[in-house]
Structure 1
Amino acid sequence: MKLQLIRNATMGIEYNKHLFLTDPYFAEKLSMPTYAGKSKNPLVDLPFSTEKIMEGVEIILLSHVHSDHFDQTAQAVIPKEFPLLCQPDDETRLNGKGFLNVNPIYDKCDWKGISINRVYGRHGTGEVLEEMGPSSGYLLKAKGEPTVFWAGDTVLCDEVKSFLIENKPDIIIVHACGAEWGNHVKIVMDEYQTEELLNLLPQSIVIAVHMESVDHATVSRNRLCKYAKEKGMDKNKLLIPQDGEVIDITI
């Protein structure tokens, strides 16, 4: 398994000799509205051109379709016939945007020798959860590859914990920026839930992404690194890539 963080939750994941692109967020720096009243978004440039990002990509996997996960720029760049995998809740919306090859995953699907299981997360709590709407995570399995769970936009809720304990993935990709909505309600994991996750599944490697790219985030890479050091977390079990960085893991 080879993962390249591009920006935010946009990643190229090479798995079983096939290349996925997750949550394409292609907008130019500071070209989109604020989420928290601090700055326009995204906060940083893409490390590569969209042409380079799309090079070799065979399919797009979407956790959900919020504007920092599938923005208008990406929707314009990506051909309408390009295959998309998504949660069922987004099928109609994606069709409405003109995409012709939308494939909702209700529970599980198989694609080119890769088993993909979907699970709903919780994109916040209380009234904020209802406002945010559904978001999904996905477990990838293939012969000769480590099992990989991409959590998507979720807090570390009971549903996700139960799924992880049952499946015990080798690699867990989390959105760990501690983004907040409304009255400072966390809508994704932060440093404390990242620690909880590492304690819950000490055999897994956790990769923290979705950081330093949107203005409603509260946790930077440096803050997470500092917290991990203070708590004595295993630096080989918590990986925090920079934009453009490649992580290659063989288990």
Structure 2
Amino acid sequence: MGYGNVSERLKQPPQVGVSVVILALDPDSEHGRLWLPLVRRVRQPFLGCWALPGGDIRADRTLAQSAYEALESTTDLHPSYLEQLHAFGGPDRSHGGLPMVSIVYWALVGQAEAGDFAEADNVRWFPEDELASLDIAFDHREIIAYALDRLRTRIEYPDIAAKLVGPTFTLRQLHGVYEAITGTVLDLPNFRRKMLGSGELEETGDVLREGRHRPAAVYRYVPRKDAPAHPYAYAISGSRLAELDARVRAIAQRDTADAERGADDLSALTTE
């Protein structure tokens, strides 16, 4: 059933969708910069503007599965961290379209996984400090700012920063992540002392040469024994994220098989 004028549309139940703020670290920057992918809109409203990756919510999907599918369909990346951020609604954000509520997730992608920020179709990666010059659709600029603020409030926990740099890292690499997140230059010796004193890093026994610097010890994040297993109710990482990935892939295979069976049935009906 179609909708009438704007006044009538605003009285209808809102559509509900999911959006994802995907954050990755610039692998080529000495002090690090955060990048995120945006999608160029191909229809009104905001035709030609940039928007967050997103998609619909289906009855046979959980919210997390919908967010994961939106992420993979946009970037073909596998996040190291996924968390429900906030629900954004209100009659003004649709700009004359159908009222819309967005359940937003934020995701962290490891440095090695992000690679060279390859572009595809209408998807392009942008550095966080250059977003001000872009035409960004809806209230997505505010949503991005909300996600960045959430990340910065978590910077005191080494496990969050480690998810941006990868499973193993040097202290200089971790230092670059902290500078990228905070947007400030941090004294490296003081940073080293703080991280080593946290009790959450352990040496792997490997070393890595970084440019002209002498080989540096490689570390991994190890949670303290007194750390809660799931400190944030809607955070997904580690084995739980691997399980989510497996579920999403199984659903995609099932949907593909169903579509192929439907095409075969249609062909049988229309072939003489």
Structure 2 length normalisation: TM-score? Answer: 0.26
Which is higher, the Rg of structure 1 or of structure 2? 2
Relative to total residues, which structure has the larger helix share, 1 or 2? 2
Structure 1 length normalisation: TM-score? Answer: 0.27
